[in-house]
Amino acid sequence: LANLGAKPSRYSTVEEPNTLEHITTYNNFYEFGTGKDDPAQNAHRLTTDGWEVEVGGLVDKPGTWTMDDILKGTTLEERIYRLRCVEGWSMIIPWVGFELSDLLNRVGVQSGAKYVAFETALRPDEMTGVSSRVLDWPYVEGLRLDEAMNPLTILATGLYDEPIPNQNGAPIRLVVPWKYGFKSIKSIVRITLTDDEPPTSWNKTQPREYGFYSNVNPSVDHPRWSQATERRIGGGLRARRIPTLMFNGYGAEVAELYDGMDLAKHF
């Protein structure tokens, strides 16, 4: 199976990963439908050949990158991360990728840049879900620059040491393990460095429910459900709820990013 040859990482959890079946058949990727099994059914229509990512904004070397350009000179690592969905379930996922800071350093972030904005491909012919107005397409997300530069933040191109399946965000997606899953934007076509906080899709749709930061936080409930506990996918009908950890258990690496911030206000 060892296909991508990703190197192990000290940031990986030792918890047992979910199976490939769990990870590839239970997805939120609304461009392919709102059901959990819709992406597995519909995402095969997405063509990832010739994929390009436009990197621009406040950078020294703006331009369009092919996947080969992006991967050239990076070392792929396996990052086994917890993923906590805002809906109250979680998985353990062995991503393969590289730190976002690698790419940002290569393009040269200008001193005025404070945020990184991301955009997902919008292809109505291939994405059956975008005919529905459930979100304002294309899907957009954003991070503060220091969050983007944190070593935990990766761009993933693989899963279980194989190229990442379409339903998981092929060919390249963000993974920010201390934030709710929807922050980890899939199938990225644009990365823009900005000086203003960029709009984010779920926040635009329901600002009261989804904040810009969306850090995993058991003490700040979603207005419609508790975030204190989660159900780990894969346990079947007898699975017990487990307590949700602050920053999804990544506090040692990221808590200082938010020193002095009221996280109930900046949720």
Partner 1 sequence: MDLAAPINSALKRVPAWPLYPLGAVPVVWILWQGLEGKLGVDPTKAIEHQLGLWGLWLLIAGLAITPLQRFAGIRLLKFRRAIGLLAFFYILAHLLVWLVLDVQIPSLIWADIVKRPYITIGMAAFLLMVPLALTSNNWSLRKLGAARWRRLHKLTYVLAPLAAIHFVMVVKGWQLEPIYYLACVVGLLALRLVPKRLRIFAAPPVRS
Buried b (16+ CB within 10 A) or exposed e, 176-198: bbbbbbbbbbbbbbbbbbbeeeb
Token pair in block for residue 140: 């957009």
**CA 151, CA 63: separation in Å to the nearest integer?**
24
**Residue 117 near residue 189 (C-beta atoms within 8 A):** no
CA 2 to chain centre: 24
Does residue 219 touch partner 1 according to CB under 8 A?
A: no
The answer to whether residue 25 forms part of the interface with partner 1 (CB under 8 A) is yes
Interaction of residue 208 with partner 1, rule CB under 8 A: no
| Contact call for residue 89 and partner 1 (CB under 8 A) | yes
Stretch that binds partner 1, among 45-53, 57-65, 239-247, 253-261 (CB under 8 A): 239-247
Does 98 help bind partner 1 (rule: CB under 8 A)? no
Binding test (CB under 8 A) with partner 1, winner from 122, 149, 189, 228 = 228
Q: Can you tell me the distance from the alpha carbon of 2 to that of 21, in angstroms, rounded to the nearest whole number?
A: 18
153 vs 201, which CB is nearer to partner 1? 201
Binder among 4, 6, 17, 26 for partner 1 (CB under 8 A): 26
On whether the CB atoms of residues 247 and 257 are closer than 8 A, the answer is no
Phi, psi of 83 (to 5 degrees): -120, 120
Cα angle at 63 between 146 and 147, to 5 degrees? Answer: 10
Minimum CB distance to partner 1, residue 224 (Å): 5
Residue 61 binding partner 1, by CB under 8 A: no
83 contacts partner 1 (rule: CB under 8 A) = no
Nearest approach, Cβ of 182 to partner 1 (angstroms)?
Answer: 9
Taking the complex as a whole, the smallest distance from the CB of residue 97 to partner 1 amounts, in Å, to 23
Nearest distance from C-beta of residue 219 to partner 1, angstroms = 13
Whether 192 contacts 145, CB under 8 Å: no
Range in contact with partner 1 (rule: CB under 8 A) among 18-26, 41-49, 55-63, 160-168: 18-26
Q: Which of 52, 69, 87, 102 binds partner 1 (CB under 8 A)?
A: 87
87 contacts 35 by C-beta, under 8 angstroms: no
The 8-class DSSP code of residue 202 comes to H
Which residues would be at the binding site for partner 1 (CB under 8 A)? 18, 21-22, 25-26, 30, 34, 36-37, 86-87, 89, 132-135, 205-206, 221, 224-226, 228-229, 231, 233-234, 236-237, 239-241
